Amino acid sequence: MTRTATLPHLEDSAAAPAAAGLGALTATRLLHHRVLILDRELDQDNGAQLSAQLLLLAAEDPRQDITLLINSPGGLVPAMLAIGDLMDLVPCDVRTVALGMAYSAGQFLLTHGTPGKRMILPHGRVLMHQGSAGFGGSAADIELQAEDLRRSRDLLIALTAERTGQSAETIAQDSDRDRLWDAEGAVEYGFCDRIVTSLDEVLPLGIGARTGTSLGVTGVVASPHSAPSGDAR
């Protein structure tokens, strides 16, 4: 008998297509500035990559913040929990920033950032709901898989309650179906701490504003003695 089963998964919103992903050059430049990004569905591959990058940056400088930008429709629970555990274990603070959407697994990672350093853009949105999984095999197999899903659900409720300050009962009720929050509501609920009002809040050490660079791309800083552009007169 063929047995089919899938890992517990926080579903993508039907209204939220997955992003295409950053190019390697851009991602490398962001990594150089200790900026990580989850810009699509969280799966085993990009989950392992984010985990490795967290460890790399923590080993490189255990005192400097890491920034995680989130624009994701959801993803796999095991990958999400692995990243969350590492965020707790690394010695440096992890700042989290919700860009367009922090849905499901994205919501969990946003909320799992260092307290006081969890942010959302003015038009960012947060979605919370329960996980789901596909079951297959014998009746006994299905029962075991369903029990594992219930344990995962209870764990996520407890962790989210701890990070938001809401009660477990409130989290269970509010995650029973898809529920969306705008930026102001997300801060009020406790998913994050504040709404971003300045680019310097997102870019570590004011990259761009104070260094003449834009995410690793060096800009041309005019000399006070340089001639203006165009033909000399």
| Total number of residues shown for the chain | 233
Long-range own/partner contacts, residues 150-153 (CB < 8 A, 24 or more apart): 152/8, 152/77
Which ranges of 9-115 would DSSP assign to H, the alpha helix?
24-32, 44-60, 77-89, 105-111
* Residue whose tokens read 């962001």: 30
Is residue 129 part of the annotated active site? The answer reads yes
* Secondary structure (DSSP) of 92-116: S-EEEEEEEEEETHHHHHHHTSPTT
The residue from 9, 72, 112, 129 that is catalytic is: 129
Catalytic residue among 9, 72, 104, 175: 104
* CB-count burial class (<10 Å; 0-12, 13-18, 19+) for 225: exposed
Pair type for strands 213-214 and 217-218: antiparallel
167 catalytic residue (yes or no): no
Rounded Cα gap, residues 115 and 124, in angstroms: 19
Q: Give me the active site residues, please.
A: 104, 129
